[in-house]
């Protein structure tokens, strides 16, 4: 469609560029460039210093992305480095003007034995907004990558629920320039069924990607716990009267506040993708805090910590 066609043209000039390298045994931001509408903040210390990880905060002027804005950022994480990139609040995408699409493009290169964690707050599209993002990650066999990509139905607590016009998110992971993981999510209003009709009670959709040898224990723990959670939630109800009981079952099964699935990808299951749908944003924050807490030794702080 028109938004994707626009992205297929010449790549936009970079509005941000970051480089992380080893300096005196620690990961340090050696280059940090940004221009309107993007602003990058590299705090000198986040969490405990023993991790030696570099942190970056990506924010936008005005607190959101205006219709027609194009943000393009490159990130290079050097061999043996650890870096986290996050936001200070949800990324707001304001109403579309003249059907203009707001765009974000991120291209990251993760060095050998390096770790890059992209852990933003969710994207929140306002009514009639049009948004397109593409994220490309270049990795090696021993690179380590965490990607959280998620979005909400809008300002649903104010009654604005799935009222945006267009949302598309693309994630590509290339292992030494060969495709390893390709994913695309598209939500678009239809004359037959609106997005709200299809999403029902759910207000949040999230995807978590874990890749690399350092994250194998995180993958295993998340897979095991999600499997247990869903086996309990999806267990068919039992009737006290036995198999021939005439007790009626509800016509519409109860909607669970959060549902999730995990799937391995890559050779020997070196990567894992988790997909989550939830009724509330806070339930996904809780899920992420719990399952990504094991990243604290690498990053110096727990992702999505309430503190």
Under 8 Å between Cβ of 80 and 54: no
Tell the residue number behind the tokens 């490309």, with chain if given.
136
What six digits make up the tokens of 33?
């460039």
CA atoms within 13 A on the CB side of 84: 27
What distance, in Å, lies between the first and last C-alpha atoms of the chain? 42
What are the DSSP calls for 25-52, one per residue? Answer: TEEEEEEEEE-TTEEEE--S--S-GGG-
Sorted by sequence, the CB contacts under 8 Å of residue 158 that are 6+ apart come out as none
How buried is residue 271: exposed, middle or buried, by Cβ count under 10 Å (0-12/13-18/19+)? Answer: buried
What stretch of H or E contains 224? helix 216-233
Radius of gyration of the chain from its Cα atoms, rounded to whole angstroms: 20
User: Which DSSP state fits 14?
Assistant: P
DSSP for residue 213: G
pLDDT at position 181 is 97
The sign of the dihedral angle between the CA atoms of 53, 59, 210, 132 is negative
Is 279 within 8 Å of 258 (Cβ atoms)?
yes
| pLDDT of amino acid 3 | 42
The tens place of each residue's pLDDT in the chain, 307 residues long, gives 444 444 444 456 789 999 999 999 999 999 999 999 999 999 987 777 667 899 999 999 888 999 999 999 999 999 999 999 999 999 999 999 998 999 999 999 999 999 999 999 999 999 999 999 999 999 999 999 999 999 999 999 888 999 999 999 999 999 999 999 999 999 999 878 899 999 989 999 999 999 999 999 999 999 999 999 998 877 666 555 554 444 555 555 567 899 999 999 998 889 999 999 999 999 999 999 999 999 999 999 999 986 4
Q: Give the model's pLDDT for residue 231.
A: 87
> String of b and e for 93-104 (b: at least 16 CB within 10 Å)?
bbebeeeebbbb
Residue 100 phi, psi dihedral angles, 5° rounding? -75, 145
Specify the pTM: 0.89
Predicted pLDDT of residue 236: 67
């Amino acid at each position: 469609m028109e938004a994707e066609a626009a992205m297929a043209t010449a790549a936009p000039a970079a509005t941000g560029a970051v480089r992380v390298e080893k300096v005196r045994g620690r990961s340090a931001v050696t280059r940090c460039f940004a221009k309107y509408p993007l602003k990058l903040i590299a705090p000198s210390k986040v969490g405990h210093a023993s991790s030696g990880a570099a942190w970056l905060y990506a924010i936008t002027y005005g607190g959101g992305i205006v219709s027609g804005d194009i943000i393009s950022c490159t990130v290079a994480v050097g061999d043996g480095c650890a870096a986290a990139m996050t936001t200070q609040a949800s990324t707001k995408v304001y109403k579309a003007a003249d059907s203009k699409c707001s765009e974000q493009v991120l291209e990251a290169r993760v060095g050998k034995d390096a770790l890059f964690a992209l852990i933003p707050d969710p994207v929140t599209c306002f009514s009639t907004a049009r948004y397109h993002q593409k994220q490309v990650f270049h990795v090696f066999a021993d690179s380590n990558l965490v990607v959280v990509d998620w979005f909400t139905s809008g300002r649903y607590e104010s009654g604005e629920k799935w009222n945006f016009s267009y949302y598309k998110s693309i994630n590509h992971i290339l292992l030494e320039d060969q495709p390893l993981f390709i994913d695309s999510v598209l939500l678009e209003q239809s004359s037959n069924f609106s997005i709200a009709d299809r999403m029902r009670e759910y207000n949040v959709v999230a995807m978590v990607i874990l890749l690399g040898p350092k994250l194998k224990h995180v993958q295993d723990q998340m897979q095991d716990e999600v499997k247990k959670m869903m086996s309990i939630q999806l267990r068919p109800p039992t009737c006290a009267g036995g198999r021939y009981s005439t007790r009626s079952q509800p016509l519409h099964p109860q909607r669970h506040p959060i549902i999730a699935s995990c799937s391995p990808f890559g050779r020997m299951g070196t990567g894992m993708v988790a997909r989550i749908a939830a009724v509330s944003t806070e339930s996904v924050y809780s899920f992420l805090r719990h399952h990504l807490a094991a990243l604290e030794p690498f990053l110096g702080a727990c992702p999505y910590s309430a503190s």
